[in-house]
Structure 1
Amino acid sequence: MSCKPNVLVLFYGYGSIVELAKEIAKGVEEENGEVRIRRVRETLPAEMQSRLPLDKVKEIPEATLDDMKWADGYIMGSPTRFGNMAGGLKTFLDQTILLWKDNVMYGKPVGFFTEASTIHGGHETTILTMSTYAYHFGMIIVPLGYKIPEISQTVSGGGPYGATHLGSKEELDENERTIAKFLGKRVTEVARKIKCCQA
């Protein structure tokens, strides 16, 4: 068994969440992990979908349960929806009950990312509500702490819970990019240690 970990970056959304996912994937690659970026299928009604920038993610494959089986570690993201993950991600995760029964993800590391328009608009609560999923699967939640100085910045997204984007700014700033890459590296590092111990 190779000790090179497979890391799945799984997300819902179309805005800066996509850019966060790509920066996280760069961090996985810099830590010598194999990465897949996957989006979940849109579940909103057709009349609402017509208002979404679907072109922004059309080149990114939709996630499957096989992607979940493939991964040694996961990094999951969603824009905040009233302090919680978006329904599209929740719908996909609900399907993983088929994997829960077989302990497919038990003991595997997971990190989280999100974006919210305001400082107090759900950065922390969205990550915390996504993390409840991981408890039920027996996954290892990988927080960031304050290991890198960018996490202490108060004018950007990102914090000890995970990578985030402060959506009042259209583009990710350099702190947010650095934090996103660090999340990718951190989950990959933990996934490698676990995988190598089991080899």
Structure 2
Amino acid sequence: MPGSITNVAVVYYSATGTIFRLADEVRAGAADTGADVRMRRVEETAPLPAVTRNPTWVDHVSSTQHIPVATHDDLLWADAILFGTPARFGNVAAQLKAFIDTLAGLWHQDLLADKVYSAFTSTASLHGGQESTLLALYNSVYHFGGIIVPPGYKNHVIDGPGNPYGSGHVTGEDGSVAVGEESLTAARSQGRRVADMAAALKAGFAVKVA
């Protein structure tokens, strides 16, 4: 109904914390609009030896256990869904892709259609595949029948970090470049934009039904 609260799900995968930091800022941006926001992580599926070789990875997994794991119900509840993933050779991280691959049942019932979607990412190097990762992720949204709302260059908040397909961050080859104010501002702006557009779409559908 018109004026009802917009539901936003931020579903992400983060190994060492960069995407988590962006996801939290996206969450805050959506919450700025008055939306009800759920921040959800997908399960870690990497082999334990791979995780334990990286102390930062171990620390992050341990420190984010309090964040609920994403479920299908979170997507059904949401009017807008923002996916976050680090780039993996210019593609979506296997952990997030594994979650997306479980959605066939919802897709088959058209339960993922007519929702707003957007995404954000990170790379180690400046030209490490942010755009291709986001475009690859959006391929799934096309199949869902979702409505993609990218940040674009609106208000030019991503002129420095990220790209018009989705906010992002460059960590440096050794991962030492912390998420800075430019990237945080871009992520928060993206969260607000997606929530606002989802609210407008929800209100429009409500008027059409009425």
Both structures adopt the same fold (TM-score exceeding 0.5): yes
Cα distance between partner residues in 2 of 1:161 and 1:152: 12
Cα distance between partner residues in 2 of 1:5 and 1:195: 8
Q: Does 1:166 align with 2:170?
A: yes
Show structure 1 runs of 4+ deviating over 4 A. none
Q: Which residue number corresponds to residue 124 of structure 2? A: 117
What amino acid is aligned across from residue 24 of structure 1 in structure 2?
Answer: V
Cα distance between partner residues in 2 of 1:56 and 1:196: 38
Shift of 1:62: 0.4
* TM-score, normalised relative to structure 1: 0.94
* TM-score, normalised relative to structure 2: 0.89
CA contact (8 A) 2:91 2:136 kept: yes
Shift of 1:195: 1.0
Cα distance between partner residues in 1 of 2:85 and 2:40: 12
Q: Which residue number corresponds to residue 12 of structure 1? A: 13
Cα distance between partner residues in 1 of 2:187 and 2:205: 28
Root-mean-square deviation (CA, aligned residues, Å) is 1.3
Q: Which residue number corresponds to residue 34 of structure 2? A: 32
SS in structure 1 of the partner of residue 21 of structure 2: helix
What amino acid is aligned across from residue 43 of structure 1 in structure 2?
Answer: T
Q: Which residue number corresponds to residue 202 of structure 2? A: 195
CA contact (8 A) 1:16 1:170 kept: no
SS in structure 2 of the partner of residue 115 of structure 1: strand
Q: Tell me, which stretches of 5 or more residues in structure 1 are unaligned?
A: none
2:138 aligned to which of 123, 128, 131: 131
Give the percent of matched residue pairs that are identical in Structure 1 and Structure 2.
39
Q: Which residue number corresponds to residue 97 of structure 1? A: 104
1:57 aligned to which of 52, 58, 64: 64
Q: Which residue number corresponds to residue 73 of structure 1? A: 80
In the alignment of these two chains, the number of paired residues is 196
CA contact (8 A) 2:11 2:82 kept: yes
1:143 aligned to which of 136, 146, 150: 150
CA contact (8 A) 2:157 2:189 kept: no
CA contact (8 A) 1:25 1:37 kept: yes
Cα distance between partner residues in 2 of 1:77 and 1:61: 15
Cα displacement string for residues 72-105 of structure 1 (whole angstroms, at most 9, x for unaligned residues): 0000010010000110101100111110011111
Cα distance between partner residues in 2 of 1:149 and 1:102: 38
Cα distance between partner residues in 2 of 1:185 and 1:148: 12
